Structure 1
Amino acid sequence: MEENDKKELLNILAKRIKELRSKKGITQEDALNDTGIHFGRIEQGKRDISFTTLFKICQYFEIPPKDLFNKDFDRITL
């Protein structure tokens, strides 16, 4: 995977997580206190997170992992 593709994936993920958090009316600080996950770093699109962190985020928002990836990821070609 090329570096530009990786950056685009991280940016899409950052946008999606921020969207989920905002829809729930949760601040980054609340999310950090609730999960121990630093959402600010993720939402900047600069941090590649682990599968377990992704899974914890899905649990936190009470969504299946497929719902995290159902929006905007289809425009990436691997």
Structure 2
Amino acid sequence: MIEKAQEATGRAAAELVKPGKYLTLRNARVDMYRGTMRLAVDALGKVEEGEASGFEPKKDNNLSLVEFELVPVA
């Protein structure tokens, strides 16, 4: 994911991504690519270091570990 962040937002934004750090994402979305999720920030988007808060991520339901598949609908 960090390699893709470098391509999309530049090296400076990718260097902000570290375990335990808080980030503020603007104009970001999750794209599905070959059954995995990727964080994408568009041209007008921003990745900034955020302020620490009382937020604690749910680690028992890590959707990044799930492989998704496209299912055709009718």
TM-score (norm 2): 0.29
Structure whose residues are more often helix by fraction? 1
Which structure would you say has the larger Rg? 2
Structure whose residues are more often strand by fraction? 2
Q: Point out which structure has higher relative CO (alpha carbons under 8 A, 6+ apart).
A: 1
